[in-house]
Chains A and B, each alone.
Chain A
Amino acid sequence: MSILLIAEHNNKELKPFTLNAISAASQINEDVHVLVLGSNSDSVAKSISEVPNVKKVIHVNNSLYENYLAENYTSAVIKLAESYSHIICSANTFGKNLMPRIAALLDVSQISDITKVISEDTFLRPIYAGNAFATVKSTDRVKCVTIRPTSFDPAPTSGGSAEIINGDPGDASELSKFIKKEEIKSDRPELGTARVVVSGGRGMQSGENFKLITAVADKLNAAIGASRAAVDAGYITNDHQVGQTGKVVVPDLYIAVGISGAIQHLAGMKESKVIVAINKDGEAPIFSVADYGLEADLFEALPKFLEELNKLNTIQK
């Protein structure tokens, strides 16, 4: 049987984590069908049809899906679920909101946030903020699985030509209503996919001081992250939070500035390839995961760091 993967998009463009989920799905079974629930979303369906790993695109084009509401999405997925062995989407706020609603109606025990496909019914997933990993096997007929996007490479986006078929909309739900989305636009790389992330914590002492982080991030073409403490303190908005309940990032370089390294923060960044910690407390737990630790006052170290970066002839982008 085939896999049904639910695409995340904004009716114009596919959200990049869908590509990571497609990669994971094709490791389970090559017959991956992607469901696009959208409104005037032809361009999304077309771009997915060009992903070589995708065998079929089911496009449901209906004004019902102008905005994403789990209540509306669920009914459309349930109508298709019968003919699939797996239902998959990414484990970001999109998929975390949606998949359990689908799973419960199918009477399926969902497997959340997998980091590895072991076989078609067995998966690896982090528990306890990534301080342990569980190998789990689903015994349900249909497997509802969400994918940790940063654990899988994105699928290539060209070369394929999957068939696009029109699907039927689900029932309209009157239970909930979309009001507005406050999306923070930025020219920077996205936090979840950036090659370099520079993050600030409570040690930054104010939102104003984040300009020191911004300057370094500009130089390195990096995304800006933050610890929960910094977000709670109002220094920076929630979309920057890295950690167990925020985003999980796996950049080539993660620079933690003024972050002590609480368990829940480490959960979101400790798989990064190279970790740098700048903190004036030499005992801070962040140093236990850092490849390079600098025990220093960040207010002196960050300007100096920028100065040294400026001296380099080339910086990888």
Chain B
Amino acid sequence: MKILVAVKRVIDYNVQIRVKEDGSGVITDNVKMSTNPPDDNAIEEAVKIKEAGKATEVVAISVGEEKAQETVRKALAVGADRGILVKADGVIEPLAVSKILQKVVEKEKPDLVFMGKQAIDDDCNQTGQMLAALLNWPQATFASKIEVKDKSLEVTREIDEGLETIEVNVPAIVTCDLRLNEPRYASLPNIMKAKKKPIEQITASDLGVDTKPRIEQIKVEEPPKRKAGIKVATVEELVQKLKNEAKVI
């Protein structure tokens, strides 16, 4: 079985983002970038399945600017066998990413495609489901447990009401939740080894995919600021404030 894992380069989850003064977006210059957190879970799961002898190859792919190569390289350092970078500049909407991935899937013919359930920059939560639709494959979204069976997967999904278990035929798309596993850190020797692993570079136009945005971003602004609160000294004072000032209890 071959697993393709899609990873996205995003602003690191610990960075407090800042909005550009002209409202055109958020500041990304000189800001720490990392792999989108649930994409780390996706890579980890694919590597674990390979280590368990149930997959033969793990291929990491990213779509984005040249620097997204670092994100692919990091996936190689934690166990992916080779990488693909599809270069595309500017805003690439999930629909365009899923069309790019569709082309790559048609060429690479993986049995499974894994990715994080949501990117923490645009918070869209779309790409996996869209790719599943374009390929007419089943989708198992928000996965917190994956059991590989003969020609199917049994996947436990995190849903609002609790947990749901579904079975999907292979080939399938799985979008990973943060509780799926504990992503490993890359060891120094593996980081060195990853430098020798191949990364194929192609462009979105090589694949014949039009990446022109369909959504016009009119402006980006900061959220309204909360007015500064106060510290209370005692529990009694807290209860009094909630009762008499905020009037919420």
Same complex: yes
B98:A263 contact, CB within 8 angstroms: no
Do A132 and B249 contact each other (CB < 8 Å), given the known contacts A96-B141, A111-B215, A192-B160?
A: no
B177:A107 contact, CB within 8 angstroms: no
Q: Is the interface of B mostly helix, strand, loop or mixed?
A: mixed
User: Does A223 lie at the interface of the complex (its beta carbon under 8 Å from any beta carbon of B)?
Assistant: no
A139:B230 contact, CB within 8 angstroms: no
Do A110 and B124 contact each other (CB < 8 Å), given the known contacts A177-B166, A238-B144, A296-B235?
A: yes
A128:B11 contact, CB within 8 angstroms: yes
Contact of A132 among B19, B94, B120, B163 (CB under 8 A): B19
Give the contacts of B77-118 with A (CB-CB under 8 A).
93-95, 98, 117-118
Q: B16: shortest Cβ distance to chain A, in Å?
A: 7
B13:A182 contact, CB within 8 angstroms: no
Contact of A253 among B93, B141, B178, B248 (CB under 8 A): B248
Contact of A304 among B120, B164, B167, B235 (CB under 8 A): B235
User: For residue A270, which residues in chain B have a CB less than 8 angstroms away from its CB?
Assistant: 226
B248:A316 contact, CB within 8 angstroms: yes
B98:A104 contact, CB within 8 angstroms: yes
User: For residue A253, which residues in chain B have a CB less than 8 angstroms away from its CB?
Assistant: 242, 246, 248-249
A237:B123 contact, CB within 8 angstroms: no
A292:B130 contact, CB within 8 angstroms: no
Contact of A245 among B118, B129, B218, B221 (CB under 8 A): B118
User: Does B133 lie at the interface of the complex (its beta carbon under 8 Å from any beta carbon of A)?
Assistant: yes
Contact of B129 among A70, A192, A244 (CB under 8 A): A70
What is the CA–CA distance of A268 and B227 in the complex, to the nearest angstrom? 18
B123:A128 contact, CB within 8 angstroms: yes
The contact size tier of chain B is 35 or more
User: For residue B235, which residues in chain A have a CB less than 8 angstroms away from its CB?
Assistant: 294, 296, 301, 304-305, 308
Question: Which residue of the partner chain B has the closest CB to A111?
Answer: B215
User: Does A218 lie at the interface of the complex (its beta carbon under 8 Å from any beta carbon of B)?
Assistant: no
Question: Which residue of the partner chain B has the closest CB to A174?
Answer: B169
Give the contacts of B122-142 with A (CB-CB under 8 A).
122-134, 136-142
User: For residue A316, which residues in chain B have a CB less than 8 angstroms away from its CB?
Assistant: 248-249
Could you show 27 A-B contacts with beta carbons less than 8 Å apart?
A70-B139, A92-B160, A96-B125, A97-B141, A99-B126, A103-B126, A107-B95, A109-B93, A110-B124, A129-B123, A131-B222, A133-B221, A135-B219, A137-B215, A138-B215, A139-B214, A175-B168, A176-B166, A178-B164, A182-B163, A237-B162, A239-B162, A245-B177, A253-B248, A290-B229, A292-B242, A301-B235
The interface of chain B, by Cβ under 8 A from chain A, is 11, 13-14, 16-17, 19, 26, 38, 93-95, 98, 117-118, 120-134, 136-142, 144, 154, 157-169, 172, 177-179, 213-223, 226, 229-232, 234-236, 238-239, 241-243, 246, 248-249
- Contacts A112-B124, A182-B164, A309-B249 supplied; 5 other A-B pairs, CB < 8 Å: A104-B95, A128-B121, A140-B214, A175-B137, A232-B179
Give 5 nearest A-B pairs by CB, closest first.
A100-B129, A175-B138, A109-B214, A104-B130, A104-B133
